[in-house]
Amino acid sequence: MQVSVETLSALERRMTVGVPAERIEAEVNKRLQQTASRAKIPGFRPGKAPIKLIRQRYEESARQEALGDVIQETYYKAISEQNLRPAGMPSVEPKSFEQGQNFEYVATFEVFPEFQVTGLENIEVERLQAEVVDADVEKMLEVLRKQGARFEPSEEPAADGDQVTIDFVGRINGEVFEGGSADGVQLVLGSGRMIPGFEEALVGAKAGELRVINPVFPEDYQNADLAGKQAEFSVMVQAVAKSVLPELNEDFFKQFGLPESNLEAFQTEVRKNMERELTQSLKSKVKTQVMDGLLANNPIEIPKALIANEVDRLRIQAVQQFGGKMSPENLPAELFEEQARRRVTLGLLVAELVKQFELKPDEARVGALIAEMAAVYQEPEQVVAWYYENSEQLGEVRSVVLEEQVVDTVLKQAKVTDKTVSYEEAVKPVAPPKAG
């Protein structure tokens, strides 16, 4: 077998492989012999037909099978000998194909980039620190009560948090615009469902009152024809309903499936959930900064094949998430390319850091993480046992722990500043990360 490799670009390679004719013919003859032993030819008992007749009937298909198998076997042997790491499947094209002559084919493929992760000392991380205090728990109890609120009709003026039932007609420059009118809309004032200024202008309105309001569409409004324009809405308030919060009693506690139904037990459970959320949020914010720093300090070229594969995975996830019947291939690839590029790039950077620092999953941390996840279930011991009995699930947990160890490794060299903040600020969502 003869092998030559050309570099077409930073990641693209063209490998030419030559296979001696003798090997091809040996593979063809082997298949013909196998066929002869079981072929049913009219006038001959099974396995007794002349090889010449077998060759006439089956040689072409035997040769195609032989070439396919030889290409597959020699391709993997060739990339191993050449120390190549293909990223994705190759494009294979036969170069010569004549009986009795050496066979050549060309395989074109991308390889994984070769690099070392650098610049860890340039990464800046603001590490937030916070704790759950009693006031945070009380606020959360009020949030939970508001989520379970019911609305009762009222003759009082509408206040923030009340529900109004409205009919409205929207105009711009005196003309009714498409999508700007509706009847029987139930709106909770202060919910932020409508454009800025709309809900605020209805505070104080009573049932049966007509109000004319003039909010302005945001500059970034999704409908470019309306963005930045002032509208006039004629709003008829059909009804006002006051929010009635549920009492913190046994009936309310039972909705959350707690074994104990008293205020103290409920507060304890709420605090535990808040502390779990806080821990995850603080870790997530640090991780995002670390990953952003890795991307900024390590610009690397990414194989197109890896990005395409990740786009396909994201397409499938999107369809599954929204429960649609659409085929994933019908979703435009460009919707997912930015996210796919970030994921693939970070995957390569993290894998290289694991290699550079010879990291292995800390089994104590693996056990602690499994115990933490199991703690939210009624029978945590069974959940723990389930993880350790399922190699795939256990492998996923080990991957999470290994990634945490990568973050810890970066933090040891990065520029880290600590900042104490409130619980609310600590758990506040941040803007989605930018692609690298």
- Residue ranges in the chain whose pLDDT is less than 50: 435-436
Nearest to 434 by CA among 314, 294, 324: 294
Residue 330's identity, in one-letter code, is N
Q: How many residues are recorded in the chain?
A: 436
Sign of the Cα pseudo-torsion (371, 373, 378, 381, in order): negative
* Residue 5 · residue 82 · CB < 8 Å: yes
Instruction: List the CATH code of the domain at 2-110.
Output: 3.30.70.1050
How far apart (Å, rounded) are the C-alpha atoms in residues 184 and 238? 8
* Residue 13 · residue 111 · CB < 8 Å: yes
Q: Does domain 150-244 have CATH number 3.40.50.1370?
A: no
How far apart (Å, rounded) are the C-alpha atoms in residues 229 and 216? 6
pLDDT per position as a tens digit, 214-232: 999 999 998 999 999 999 9
Q: Which CATH number fits domain 120-132+253-427: 3.40.50.720, 3.40.109.10, 1.10.3120.10, 1.10.260.40?
A: 1.10.3120.10
Q: Kindly report the CA angle at 87 between 82 and 89, in degrees rounded to 5?
A: 95
Q: What is the pLDDT of residue 5?
A: 96
Tokens of 225: 């024809």
Annotated domain spans of the chain? 2-110, 120-132+253-427, 150-244
How far apart (Å, rounded) are the C-alpha atoms in residues 431 and 436? 15
Contacts of 184 (CB under 8 A, 6+ apart): 165, 167, 238
Q: What is the pLDDT of residue 356?
A: 96
pLDDT per position as a tens digit, 36-58: 777 777 777 777 677 778 777 77
Q: DSSP string covering 170-194, please?
A: EEETTEEEEEEEEEEEEEETTS--S
* Residue 334 · residue 431 · CB < 8 Å: no
Residue 106: phi and psi, rounded to 5, are -115, 125
Q: Kindly report the CA angle at 164 between 163 and 165, in degrees rounded to 5?
A: 125
- Per DSSP bridges, beta strands 415-420 and 124-129 are parallel
How far apart (Å, rounded) are the C-alpha atoms in residues 401 and 359? 11
Q: What is the pLDDT of residue 435?
A: 46
3-state secondary structure of 278: helix
Task: Indicate the DSSP class of residue 325.
Answer: -
Tokens of 285: 């914010």
Q: What is the pLDDT of residue 254?
A: 85
Q: What is the pLDDT of residue 432?
A: 60
pTM here is 0.77
